[in-house]
Structure 1
Amino acid sequence: MSDLLSSLQIGSGRRRIAGLIAVGVAVIVVAGIVFPDSIAGILLSIVTSKSALSSTLRLSVPIAFAALGGIFAEKSGIINIGLEGHLIIAAFVAIYGTNLTGSIWLGFVAGVLASTLLAGLFAVICIEFRADQIIAGLAVWLVALGLAPFLSTVIYGSVNVDGSGSFGRFTIPVLSEIPFFGALFSATFPVYLLFIAVALSWYVLNRTSFGRWVNASGENPEALATVGVSVRRVRYVSVLLSGVLAGMGGASFSIGLSQFVGNGQTMIGGRGFIAIVAYLFGNYNPVGAFFSTTLFAGLQALQIRLQSVPGYAVPDSLIQTIPYITVIVVLAFVGRTRIPSAAGEHYDSGED
């Protein structure tokens, strides 16, 4: 009964969010059409531009990949809040690998491998040594937050380093000229890889035996073990997949910008934590997480463009808070998302 009430509350929260977004969009569209020189008109022109969609897709890459990784880990019963750390370490190693080998593809692979190794260490600590998953995840983040800038300083003499190459843009003639949606046909490799990853993740989780094992591992591991499937192995593979996917996001982000920035919270800037909000808002559905990510990334693209709009004396520091304020609002309206029943709980079986 409590689960049913929780589901109804979650659904109601999402409907409220959707309703508010729809009303807000309608108001902006009408006002923008009637008053094209107003702030609403400027917003409308920005939002409907092909460059806005292109920026949204590009900014979605690290968040969406991390969100997909978080879904696999958490649905298996392991809460990986260290996604931020995976993005950071992958971002640095990808640039280092690119500079070392002269190949962005080898650099990309190196970044993914670094994130996967970190995920493997996290899995061992949580599964074998039964550490608190939240504390272990925070440790992963803090280790990466200190290690990446430290290695950058040791190797390059600075926490910031430029890369030696970037991803090119794949453009499909004619289709890329379509207003707004043409951005879908003129994008970089990571964007297309993200589309494939979202589709494959949905298929694996919903149409394969492994996906059913992942769900069972997070909901009822005892039942999964009863049918002869190793809960420990399923969780190991799921956590490693979270490292692979988050690594793709971090490596894509730094190579795409052809630099690693280690100042402050590093160039990742909280994207791993936004990814957690994205997959919770998307209800652990890869497609839902992707669209949630585009909401946050779209707002980030919007705030970047708003900073260059003349005639409106809004402080840049205030505009930059728009995506993060949205995260708080989304959490407030959605409320508590029902996480997998066994998430965060250790499972021990003599047969595993």
Structure 2
Amino acid sequence: MIEQEVRTPAPDTGGARPRGATRGLVIGLGVFVALILLRLITGETDITSSGTMGATLALAVPIGMAALGGLWSERSGVVNIGLEGMMTFGTWGAAFGAYFSGNPWLGLLCGVIGGALGGLLHAIATVTFGVDHIVSGVAITILAPGVTRYLSDLLFTDEQGGGATQSPPLPSFPTWSVPGVGKPLGSLENHHWILISDLAGLVRGVLTGLSPITLIAILLVPASFFLLWRTAFGLRLRSCGENPIAAESLGVKVYRMKYAAVVISGGLAGLGGVFLAMVASSNYQEGQVNGRGYIGLAAMIFGNWRPGMVAGGAGLFGYADALQLRGGAGAVHAMLLLIGIGLLALAVWRGYKGRYVAAVISAVVAVGVLLWFFLTDELPREIVTYSPHITTLLVLAFAAQRLRMPAADGMRYRKGEGA
């Protein structure tokens, strides 16, 4: 009877309902339509161009892998803010494996292993020794740059193009494109027709110049959903994040589940590091992660600890970064109009729900943003450069009230405590 209870999938905790996917598609479609209208109003073609869409996908991959790694860990009840450090281990591991073997696929394997070792260290500290999860994560983030600097100085300094802060040039992955879509869609995009050109830019951006790691990252999102919400293994793992004492009473090996989740979390973060070292760049460089592990955590929180929404959050932050890289100050300035209208709609919705104080605050901020848009022609360079980080803060501020984290996330668990 107990074994049957453990093996039988429980009712969903909020992330596995079919209507969730439909809602996500509707939201995505609504955002895309809003971007089309914004392009028409402002004349900023980079808002929906293939270059921006392709850059969005590329920039979302490392953020998405960090976010997915955080989801795996926190669904088991272990807070993982060491994702930044695990990504750093991944970048160095990719450089080590790819350079000394000459094989990019071995670099991929070594990068994932490097991140997984960082996850293992976090699991030993938090699960076995009961160290505070935040303290352990911060320690790993601080430790990683020092370790990789030492290893780089030891192994890369005498190599051509290498040194204590970077690796020599690395072998690259091939890029793939869907045959026959590049030129025809490019021609449609250049006409700047409403909807047709925008769709052409979207499809062309996501179907050309793809790296194998990008495809692997995309496939890992539904794979994570299936494993966590449609298998007995996932049910056991999630039960450890909701109530480990009850899970233990039903025969779940809680320590084993937590270890597996945190090591997988590190491996996913390491995969994001591989992308940074071997796809986004041609070598490992110190400081290459540049806060993406923390933005990944923000995407995980925005996504409410659910794979599909986490992917959407990564796409949002990737788009903010791509827009400031591809479109510059003009395109980012145009986003003020969209943000202002969105805040006005939020104010109306909150007023309808009877939350009048929140509605007034949203309306005041919306008016300020709209005035900023109409009274200026472009944004200061400093704001444009940090627009992805500003987006992170805004999203977390407005998403905080609807979040539902795992009930035992971050709690110190000792075997037998419930006896």
Q: TM-score, normalised by structure 1?
A: 0.85
Q: Any idea what SS the aligned residue of 1:139 has? A: helix
Relative to 1, partners in 2 of residues 1:143 and 1:23: Cα closer, same or farther, differing over 3 Å?
A: closer
- Asked if the contact 2:39–2:47 (Cα under 8 Å) also holds between the matched residues in 1, the reply is no
- Give matches, 1:151-170, under 5 Å: 151-154=151-154, 155-156=156-157, 157-170=163-176
Relative to 1, partners in 2 of residues 1:234 and 1:303: Cα closer, same or farther, differing over 3 Å?
A: same
Q: Which residue of 1 aligns with 2:364?
A: none
Q: Which residue of 1 aligns with 2:43?
A: 41
Relative to 1, partners in 2 of residues 1:284 and 1:161: Cα closer, same or farther, differing over 3 Å?
A: same
Q: Which residue of 2 aligns with 1:306?
A: 327
Relative to 1, partners in 2 of residues 1:160 and 1:309: Cα closer, same or farther, differing over 3 Å?
A: farther
- Give matches, 1:1-352, under 5 Å: 26=34, 29-30=36-37, 32-34=39-41, 40-42=42-44, 45-154=45-154, 155-156=156-157, 157-176=163-182, 177-178=184-185, 179-180=200-201, 181-186=203-208, 187-256=210-279, 257-262=281-286, 266-307=287-328, 314-336=379-401, 337-350=403-416
- How far the C-alpha of 1:87 sits from its partner, in A, is 0.6
Cα distance in 2 for residues equivalent to 1:115 and 1:30: 42
Relative to 1, partners in 2 of residues 1:109 and 1:294: Cα closer, same or farther, differing over 3 Å?
A: same
Cα distance in 2 for residues equivalent to 1:222 and 1:339: 18
- How far the C-alpha of 1:174 sits from its partner, in A, is 2.1
Q: Partner letter of residue 79 of structure 1?
A: V
- How far the C-alpha of 1:47 sits from its partner, in A, is 2.2
Relative to 1, partners in 2 of residues 1:234 and 1:300: Cα closer, same or farther, differing over 3 Å?
A: same
Relative to 1, partners in 2 of residues 1:206 and 1:31: Cα closer, same or farther, differing over 3 Å?
A: closer
Q: Partner letter of residue 349 of structure 1?
A: K
- Asked if the contact 2:60–2:314 (Cα under 8 Å) also holds between the matched residues in 1, the reply is yes
Q: C-alpha offsets along residues 116-163 of structure 1, whole Å, 9 cap, x if unaligned?
A: 112111101111111011000000110012222332233323312343
- How far the C-alpha of 1:55 sits from its partner, in A, is 0.8
Deviates more, 1:132-141 or 1:336-345: 336-345
Q: C-alpha offsets along residues 65-120 of structure 1, whole Å, 9 cap, x if unaligned?
A: 11111101001010011000011111012112211111111111111111111211
- Asked if the contact 1:86–1:247 (Cα under 8 Å) also holds between the matched residues in 2, the reply is yes
- Asked if the contact 1:90–1:111 (Cα under 8 Å) also holds between the matched residues in 2, the reply is yes
Relative to 1, partners in 2 of residues 1:47 and 1:339: Cα closer, same or farther, differing over 3 Å?
A: same
Q: Partner letter of residue 300 of structure 1?
A: D
- Asked if the contact 1:61–1:253 (Cα under 8 Å) also holds between the matched residues in 2, the reply is no
- How far the C-alpha of 1:30 sits from its partner, in A, is 4.0
- Asked if the contact 1:98–1:165 (Cα under 8 Å) also holds between the matched residues in 2, the reply is yes
- Asked if the contact 2:94–2:110 (Cα under 8 Å) also holds between the matched residues in 1, the reply is yes
- Asked if the contact 2:99–2:169 (Cα under 8 Å) also holds between the matched residues in 1, the reply is yes
Cα distance in 2 for residues equivalent to 1:112 and 1:30: 41
Percent of counterpart pairs with the same letter? 33
Cα distance in 2 for residues equivalent to 1:110 and 1:30: 45
Q: Partner letter of residue 33 of structure 1?
A: L
User: Tell me, which stretches of 5 or more residues in structure 1 are unaligned?
Assistant: 1-6, 8-14, 35-39
Cα distance in 1 for residues equivalent to 2:87 and 2:32: 33
Cα distance in 1 for residues equivalent to 2:67 and 2:38: 35
- Asked if the contact 2:103–2:171 (Cα under 8 Å) also holds between the matched residues in 1, the reply is yes
- Asked if the contact 1:303–1:319 (Cα under 8 Å) also holds between the matched residues in 2, the reply is yes
| Equivalent residues, number | 324
- Asked if the contact 1:63–1:249 (Cα under 8 Å) also holds between the matched residues in 2, the reply is yes
- Asked if the contact 2:90–2:273 (Cα under 8 Å) also holds between the matched residues in 1, the reply is yes
Q: TM-score, normalised by structure 2?
A: 0.72
Q: Partner letter of residue 84 of structure 2?
A: E
Relative to 1, partners in 2 of residues 1:314 and 1:341: Cα closer, same or farther, differing over 3 Å?
A: closer
- How far the C-alpha of 1:23 sits from its partner, in A, is 8.7
Cα distance in 2 for residues equivalent to 1:50 and 1:136: 41
Relative to 1, partners in 2 of residues 1:23 and 1:140: Cα closer, same or farther, differing over 3 Å?
A: closer
Larger radius of gyration: 2
Q: Which residue of 2 aligns with 1:37?
A: none
- Asked if the contact 2:245–2:417 (Cα under 8 Å) also holds between the matched residues in 1, the reply is no
Q: C-alpha offsets along residues 160-212 of structure 1, whole Å, 9 cap, x if unaligned?
A: 23432222211121245542212332211111101110010011111111111
Q: Any idea what SS the aligned residue of 1:160 has? A: coil
Relative to 1, partners in 2 of residues 1:100 and 1:23: Cα closer, same or farther, differing over 3 Å?
A: closer
Q: Which residue of 1 aligns with 2:160?
A: none
Q: Which residue of 2 aligns with 1:11?
A: none
Deviates more, 1:152-161 or 1:211-220: 152-161
Give the RMSD, CA atoms, in angstroms.
Answer: 2.6
- Asked if the contact 1:111–1:247 (Cα under 8 Å) also holds between the matched residues in 2, the reply is yes
Cα distance in 1 for residues equivalent to 2:299 and 2:104: 28
Relative to 1, partners in 2 of residues 1:340 and 1:101: Cα closer, same or farther, differing over 3 Å?
A: same
